[in-house]
Amino acid sequence: MDAALLALLFAFALLLRVGVAAAYHFDGLYGQDPFAYYDFASALAQGHAPGVFFWPLGYPALLAAGFWLFGISAASAQGISLLLGALLSPLVYALARQMESGRIGAFVAGLLMAVCGQALQSSLVVMADIPALTWTTISALCLWRYKQAASTAQRAASSIQNETAKAQRSRRLAWLVLCALTLALACITRWLCLLCVPLWGIIYLTAQRWDNMFPLRALSSHAPLKEAGPRRVLGELLLVGLAALLVFLPQVLYSRSNPYPTLNHAWVQGWSPSNALAHEFSNLDGYFSYERVNAIYYAQVYADPYYLAPVWTPFVVLGLVILLHKRQWSKALFLGGWALLPYLFLIGIPYQNIRFPLLAFPAVAVLAGIGFAALLQKALQSPRKQIACGGWACLVDLFGLFLTGHSNRLLVGEFLANQQYDRQ
């Protein structure tokens, strides 16, 4: 059943994206940014020495790999975004299932990811947003598989044989290394993904058995020291660091000779909590006056039809409350932190861009799915209410999808029409 739902979500998301791109005859190139990515990746694919470049190298390297395989063309570049954008929907479904959400909640989360207006638009363009979000979501899946494997190994440590224990440790370590590699890829694709690093680190620490981290406590619990001792944790952290360094090393070497800023970006240097209540900024690009203050503008990821129809917002809060009520602290911290950290950073930068909060949306979608499924399950406990509750659930689904679809038609359609007009 899960495999069928995964395939259905991927097919729906892909057909939606390909259909929109075909309807507007849009090749993914607009403005200056996609052309800069495209030209730089084309030079890499042709074996030219990399010139100066403003953004990190992860996305151009991915484009160059696509160009090597399928030829240098706008279709190849856009195809990468279309496929990865469609892949996000089943990835979010899988993440929701790992959070022990039922199939209904996971399917709702995947569907919200598929129809999210900003995710749809970013899937159509030759930009780094969707690849970075895909790597981040894969990393989250790997991190949680590691955590689950660690919990299983700790519960069974006293009853399994040495060979079985070694096999479990190897699989657990493989998930952790893959988590580090994909998160590092996300970071060198978009620097904004560095916000996930401390949260991932906290979740890693929650996977450890702290009663076995120190010898005196371990002796009192009669648990095997070698399974969760400080030496093992230090070894894991060293391996994770080496894996991440392997990905970051080309970027580090390149940034030493590249004149453009990396982590010393003007938006980072101009970050201030006071910007949350400001709407006028002077930065490297000039003077900007926006209609709304940052705190309201970047909250659109939680309650704007272009991201999430407001009818779904209470379910996001409910999903987090349910996890806290069940004392599933790690899940609440992981999803809540992922949904909130980008917002807390973005409200402090002296700039507004509707693309930026997309990083938080997978967690928002999973929380909405958990909240919706839990409320539906509670309502269906009474047989006399099943038909009414089922109808109510369908109504909420359809109304939310209608709001999102209407917003997408207006905003994405206007965006694509404007780009075509500018190209002409």
Among 100-114, 150-164, 194-208, 286-300, the least confident range? 150-164
pLDDT at res. 395 = 66
Residues written for the chain: 424
Query: pLDDT value at position 411?
Result: 74
* 66-109 tens-digit pLDDT: 999 999 999 999 999 999 999 999 999 999 999 888 899 999 99
pLDDT tens figures, 329-360: 999 999 999 999 999 999 999 999 999 999 99
**Average pLDDT along the chain:** 86
d(CA 94, CA 413): 30
Residue with more model confidence, 148 or 91: 91
The radius of gyration of the chain from alpha carbons, rounded to an integer in Å, stands at 23
pLDDT on residue 223: 45
Question: What is the per-residue pLDDT across 24-41, written as a single tens digit (0 to 9) for each?
Answer: 889 999 888 999 999 999
Selected residue with higher pLDDT from 422 and 22: 22
**What's the pLDDT score for residue 209?**
66
Mean pLDDT of 17-28: 91
216 in a domain, yes or no?
A: yes
Above 50 in pLDDT, residue 221?
no
Query: Whole domain around residue 232: which residue ranges?
Result: 129-154+164-256
**pLDDT tier at 138 (50, 70, 90 boundaries)?**
very high
Higher local confidence (pLDDT), 125 or 374? 125
**Tokens at residue 29, please?**
């190139």
pLDDT band at 225 (very low <50, low <70, confident <90, very high): very low
169 vs 165: CA distance, rounded Å: 6
Task: Say how many domains are in the chain.
Answer: 1
**Is residue 221 one of the residues assigned to a domain?**
yes
How much is the pLDDT for 50? Answer: 79
In this prediction, residue 383 carries a pLDDT of 58
Chain-centre distance for alpha carbon 38: 23
Q: What percent of the chain has pLDDT over 70?
A: 84
Residue 319 scores a pLDDT above 50: yes
Cβ atoms of 144 and 95 within 8 Å: the answer is yes
Q: 334-338 contacts: CB < 8 A, separation 24 or more?
A: 334/140, 334/144, 334/199, 334/203, 334/363, 335/99, 335/363, 335/366, 335/367, 336/363, 336/367, 337/199, 337/202, 338/140, 338/196, 338/199, 338/362, 338/363
pLDDT of residue 286: 85
175 pLDDT band (50/70/90 cuts)? very high
In degrees rounded to 5, what are phi and psi of residue 306? -65, -30
Is there a domain that residue 250 lies in? Answer: yes
* Reduced 3-state DSSP string for the chain: CHHHHHHHHHHHHHHHHHHHHHHCCCCCCCCCHHHHHHHHHHHHHCCCCCCCCCCCCHHHHHHHHHHHHHCCCHHHHHHHHHHHHHHHHHHHHHHHHHCCCCHHHHHHHHHHHHHCHHHHHHHHCCCCHHHHHHHHHHHHHHHHHHHHHHHHHHHHCCCCCHHHHHHHHHHHHHHHHHHHHHHHHHHCCCHHHHHHHHHHHHHHHHCCCHHHCCHHHHHHHCCCHHHHCHHHHHHHHHHHHHHHHHHHHHHHHHHHHCCCCCCCCHHHHCCCHHHHHCCEEEECCEEEECCCCHHHHCCHHHHCCCCCCHHHHHHHHHHHHHHHHCCCHHHHHHHHHHHHHHHHHHCCCCCCCCCHHHHHHHHHHHHHHHHHHHHHHHHCCCHHHHHHHHHHHHHHHHHHHHHHHHHHHHHHHHHHHHHHHHHC
Separation of first and last alpha carbons in the chain = 47
| pLDDT for position 212 | 47
Given a cut of 50, is residue 214 above it in pLDDT? Answer: no
Evaluate if residue 226 carries a pLDDT over 70.
no
Assign 117 a pLDDT band (cuts: 50, 70, 90): very high
Residue 106 inside a domain? The answer is no
pLDDT for 208 equals: 80
- The packing angle between helices 361-379 and 386-423, to 10°, is 160
pLDDT at residue 4 greater than cutoff 50: yes
Question: Confidence band (pLDDT; 50, 70, 90) for 219?
Answer: very low
Query: Is it the case that residue 215 has pLDDT exceeding 80?
Result: no
Tell me, yes or no, whether 25 lies in a domain.
Answer: no
| pLDDT at residue number 262 | 75
- Beta partners for 282? 287
Judge whether 202 lies within some domain: yes
Q: Per mean pLDDT, which range of 140-144, 266-270, 337-341 is the poorest?
A: 266-270
Which of 394, 401, 403 minimizes the C-alpha distance to 376? 394
Residue 212 lies in a domain: yes
Task: Examine residue 183 and state whether it is found in any structural domain, yes or no.
Answer: yes
Lowest mean pLDDT among 101-115, 172-186, 211-225, 314-328: 211-225
The residue among 233 and 326 whose pLDDT is bigger is 326
The larger pLDDT score, comparing residue 211 to residue 245, is at 245
Q: Which is more confidently placed, 269 or 9?
A: 9
